Amino acid sequence: MSKLRDLIEQGPALCGAKNAARWSKSFLLQFDDELQDPSSVFAARERETVAERLETLWALKQARGIDELKVEYWGNLITLAALSYGVSKGIEAMREQQEVFKRILIDQEPQYPDISALMTVQEASTLGNWA
């Protein structure tokens, strides 16, 4: 398994969702389906932004029992990973946004040691493999 997949899977529980297993399963369905099927409804679309691709993650804010600030950090860390992957594939237009996310998240990282145990900001900022 990949660090990113682990982060996606464990995020709902780490953020305090009372029904974390259901959220995790939903997010992994999307992640795995995208990797296995290039024509998946979850796969990247032409001219789709990273934010548009990852918008379903933000539904976690609706879960009972969550720590909303932790959800923000978790979702932004995954966004940083997605931007970094894009930069690694030559999409230079993502570099500035990647740097902004990195600067913001590096200051927040000490507040979320359980999440950084799965993936640090440094690891997310250098991600070259989405799988």
**Tens digits of per-residue pLDDT, 5-48?**
899 899 999 999 999 999 998 888 877 776 676 776 566 667 66
pLDDT of 94 over the 60 cut: yes
pLDDT tens sequence across 51-69: 776 777 878 888 888 999 9
d(CA 77, CA 82): 9
Give this prediction's pTM: 0.87
